Structure 1
Amino acid sequence: MSGPGPATRDIFLRPGEWYFGSGAVRLRTTLGSCVAIVLWHPRLKLGGMCHYMLPNRSDRGSQPLNGRYADEALELLLGEVRRSHTQPGDYEFKLFGGANMFPSGQRRPDDVPARNVAEALALMHEHGLPVKAQSLGGEGYRQLVFDLESGALWMRQGHEPAPHGTP
């Protein structure tokens, strides 16, 4: 992959962040137990990504939508889809992450990675959104780079600690 051109904006999404747009933008993130939902409209070259940490929160009340939670992050992205006068079914959806970050076979009692993966798949089914590609579960981090101009997505999966400076 060549480096971004002079007009390409690189945006690194941290846990709980999301982005939707078009043009010369590359979205980047590093995932462990978190999950990224990526969507792209191939004809309009419009898309986005979220990086959520947890499947949902028990009581949102009147609080605004928060990208840290799967259901709310997807709702934020779908809100942008509606504002762009497009339909969710016109987009390609891809799912990444939900890895066990503990040494071989050890699991946390709350098993957040498995819950994050299950929620991503359930949300896609609930909204009738076909998943074009996925890399979910397993062990180790995943680094993603998503080019909004071309729709190209690169993924690197590692089993050593995530590179310095990434969450």
Structure 2
Amino acid sequence: MPLSTGLYLHGGERHFGGGAHSLKALVGSEVAVTAWHPGRRIGAMCRYSLPRHDDGGVATSGLYGDENLFGLVVDFHRLEINLGELEVGIFGGADLFSEGAPELFNVGWRNVEVAHAFCREIGVHPRHLHIGDRIHRLVTLELRHGGVNVRRQDGETGRW
């Protein structure tokens, strides 16, 4: 069986689809959100760097969590997929910059809060969580079967 090919997502990117490849994202304070529909065998991942686009303008870069997660909703709606049936994972949100400052200044934690708000809005509880701490993570979503693997900077791994 051939090895699956991987598509690496950079900050602001999103990918939606199925097939024999995997989606990967290296995150620190950024957040990667995975979404998998087991019945349709379709998944998605997005990666964002900042929580919200608050200046009132139209942002289309995907760097902001609110706009990138909205893109996921649009992708699934195009195929008439019920968002409440998704298996969602939230990864990243490390505290790499705040040095003990209040949460207001912790970009990683604010990124995670946006992902949790997204889950509440679509009516799901995150099935996979690997958030916080002071580490980087490599997140992989296998689009063949929806499995998620996380490899921490310190070598620890987790599979779901």
TM-score by length of 2: 0.87
Query: 2:2 — aligned with what?
Result: 5
* Residue range with higher mean Cα deviation, 109-118 or 137-146: 109-118
Aligned-partner SS, 1:40: strand
For residues 54 and 159 of structure 1, the distance between their equivalents in structure 2, rounded to whole angstroms, comes to: 24
- Cα pair distance change 1:138/1:86, threshold 3 Å: same
Matched, 1:24 2:23: no
For residues 129 and 60 of structure 1, the distance between their equivalents in structure 2, rounded to whole angstroms, comes to: 28
Q: How many residues align?
A: 153
- Cα pair distance change 1:60/1:23, threshold 3 Å: farther
Query: 2:41 — aligned with what?
Result: 45
Which amino acid letter does the alignment assign opposite residue 99 of structure 1?
A: A
Write the mapping of 1:126-145 to structure 2, written as runs, cut at 5 A. Answer: 126-145=121-140
Gaps of 5+ in 1: 161-167
Write the mapping of 1:76-115 to structure 2, written as runs, cut at 5 A. Answer: 76-102=71-97, 106-107=99-100, 110-115=105-110
- 1:108 deviates by 6.0
1:76-96: CA deviation from partner (whole Å, max 9, x where unpaired): 011010111211112100100
1:54-92: CA deviation from partner (whole Å, max 9, x where unpaired): 11111242x353321111111101101011121111210
For residues 90 and 26 of structure 1, the distance between their equivalents in structure 2, rounded to whole angstroms, comes to: 21
User: Which of the residues 106, 111, 115 maps onto 1:116?
Assistant: 111
Which amino acid letter does the alignment assign opposite residue 142 of structure 1?
A: R
- 1:140 deviates by 0.7
- C-alpha RMSD over aligned residues: 2.0
TM-score by length of 1: 0.83
Q: Is the 8 A contact 1:139 1:159 kept in 2?
A: no
* Residue range with higher mean Cα deviation, 21-30 or 65-74: 65-74
For residues 146 and 5 of structure 1, the distance between their equivalents in structure 2, rounded to whole angstroms, comes to: 17
Which amino acid letter does the alignment assign opposite residue 86 of structure 1?
A: I
Gaps of 5+ in 2: 156-160
